[in-house]
Structure 1
Amino acid sequence: MLVASPFLLISMPGGSEWILIILVVLLLFGGRKIPELMRGLGRGIREFNDAKNNVKQEIEEGIKEKDKSSAAQ
């Protein structure tokens, strides 16, 4: 029995699929709503990256503090 990998079932859309997706988005949201949608998406991505960078910075600061305390002992 041949079992398909889930990664083989899901692939990136090609050129014609992207055109179809864009047309469906245009029909659903209309030309006036798309800039608002993209702005909201951009804000969401920016907030996610800011939060990710804050967490990374806090982890690095914690590591530095641990290294300083262990070196002082």
Structure 2
Amino acid sequence: MLGMGIGELLVVLVIVLVVFGAGRLPEVMGSIGQGVQAFKKGLREPPEIDVTPKDSEAAKAKKSETS
């Protein structure tokens, strides 16, 4: 698991507890879980392609029509 043993995991856990505190830990873990779920959802869904013209392209087209 990422080359980390039990000792390293315990050190990381202690640091997380010191930084965030025991009260905020469930909130932080929930936020991390939501982020992971959103990331996985993004990997599963096909990318959305924006086919609307950019403002500069629309301005050029409008300018050429009026000229």
Under TM normalisation by the shorter chain, which class is it? 0.5 to 0.7
Q: How many residues align?
A: 47
Q: In terms of Rg, which structure is larger? A: 2
- Could you list the per-position Cα deviations for residues 3-39 of structure 1 after superposition, in whole angstroms to 9, with x for gaps in the alignment? xxxxxxxx61111111111111111110011111111
Mark the runs of 5 or more structure 1 residues left unpaired by the alignment: 1-10, 59-73
* 1:23 maps to amino acid: V
The alignment yields a C-alpha RMSD, in angstroms, of 1.9
Partner secondary structure for residue 55 of structure 1: coil
Q: Distance in 1 between matches of 2:41 and 2:8?
A: 32
Give the alignment of 1:28-43 within 5 angstroms: 28-43=19-34
Greater share of residues in helix: 1
CA distance in 2, matches of 1:51, 1:17: 31
Q: Secondary structure at the match of 1:38?
A: helix
Deviating above 4 A after TM superposition, structure 1's stretches of 4 or more consecutive aligned residues are: none
Give the Cα separation in 1 of the matches to 2:40 and 2:9. 26
Q: Does 1:17 align with 2:19?
A: no
User: Percent same amino acid among aligned pairs?
Assistant: 28
